[in-house]
Structure 1
Amino acid sequence: MPRMSSAELKERLAHDLPGILMPIRTRTQASNGSEASGGDGKAARHKRGEHAPVDLLATDDAVVYPERLPEAARYVRDVLGYELLSNITAVDYLADGIIEMVYHFYHLDGGPELVIKTRVPRDNPVVPSLTDEWPGANLQEREAFDLFGVMFPGHPNLTRIYMWDEFEGWPMRKDFPKQGDKYFGDSEE
């Protein structure tokens, strides 16, 4: 199975589905200092032995607008021939106020994965459900809802899957309290 690079995927998406890709910094841009510092075009300078801060949002993967995700997933299946949505993962970027959803697609004949991402604000994490066309997304979307608070309009049964119904909050978010949780009581003696 031929490997499709992230650059080739982005090129094909941009050509066949104009306006679907979000503008993002690539890892190369982040590592060479372009777009670093105060937007004046000058690269950030660091003292000898210091490293520039890592730009966690820089990626070479295709990042699509959330509302266009179902269209991108159909394109990956119907045009590129990737029949399996293997997994869906949520990543919380607390400092940037973003939750990123990561989708891994595979050919049934084997070969490398194809990764598509989308990003939503932490205070309103809404991503269209893929369950209508990718039934395997069902439980994984429920997991992202239960643990990260991501809403998936169009999901047939968006309910908690790990936590009990009365549980409040999203336990995998980085700002979820890890001690003194009201469900476990205080451990002071």
Structure 2
Amino acid sequence: MTFPEINTLIQSQFGADTFVANTANPQPFLIVPADRLVELCSFLRNDERLFFDLLACVTAIDNGPGESKPDANTMDMIYNLTSIPYEHDLMLRVTVPRNAPVVPSLAHLWRTADWHEREAFDLVGVQFTNHPDLRRILLPTDWVGHPLRTDYVEEEQYHGIKTK
């Protein structure tokens, strides 16, 4: 199924223009409000015509502070979904405020979300509501900050070890 076909099916289910389709990029994607993410993803996984059985990747992007660019002071969550039996893919983008990056967890829909969301929490600081075990996964539990944020400042030392 192609992106336009998937988009048409989603729009017929949720209403025309509920989710904005961006087709300007080489890989088109749907822009999804955070409060509709779980509802949409449940449909994408459970509808027999789509059957997105794999959450292949979740990426958190810090668009940075400031006012010089249109997406400043936001963070984007990018979700790459795949239907293994139907061999089609879909990308979703959720934009949240940078000062309070909160997105609902998808761990109850796809087990892989557990690890992906913990990584986004650990490295970028995104909070996932209703996550079953939201804690650091790559860095020590006492690490200060989130190293993939654009304004992250590395500490000079960690437990007496120079980091720079």
Under a length normalisation based on structure 2, what TM-score does the superposition of the two structures give?
Answer: 0.80
Larger relative strand fraction = 2
The one-character-per-residue Cα deviations of 1:153-187 (angstroms, maximum 9, x if unpaired) are 10011000011111111101122125x64435486
2:62 alignment partner in structure 1: 92
Whether the 8 Å CA contact 1:86–1:106 is kept in 2: the answer is yes
Secondary structure of 1:113's counterpart equals strand
Indicate whether 1:11 and 2:8 are aligned.
yes
Runs of 5+ unmatched residues, structure 2: none
8 Å Cα contact 1:4-1:114 kept in structure 2: no
Of 172, 175, 183 in structure 1, the residue corresponding to residue 148 of structure 2 is 172
Q: Which has the larger radius of gyration?
A: 1
Residue deviations 1:115-157, cap 9 Å, x none? Answer: 1111111111000001112111101100000001000010011
Q: Which runs of 4+ in 1 moved over 6 A?
A: none
**How far off is 1:12 after superposition?**
2.8
In the TM superposition, 1:103-182 aligns within 5 A as 103-109=79-85, 111-177=87-153, 181-182=156-157
Within-5 A mapping of 1:31-46: none
- Counterparts of 2:24 and 2:74 in 1: how far apart (Å)? 18
CA distance in 1, matches of 2:163, 2:79: 39
What percentage of residue pairs aligned between the two structures are identical?
31
Determine the C-alpha separation between the residues in 2 that align with 1:26 and 1:185.
46
Pairwise CA RMSD: 2.4
> Which of the residues 42, 46, 65 maps onto 1:78?
46
Q: Secondary structure at the match of 1:152?
A: strand
Q: Distance in 2 between matches of 1:157 and 1:87?
A: 18
Task: Classify the secondary structure of the residue corresponding to 1:27.
Answer: coil
Normalized against structure 1, the TM-score is what?
Answer: 0.70
Q: Which runs of 5+ in 1 are unaligned?
A: 29-58
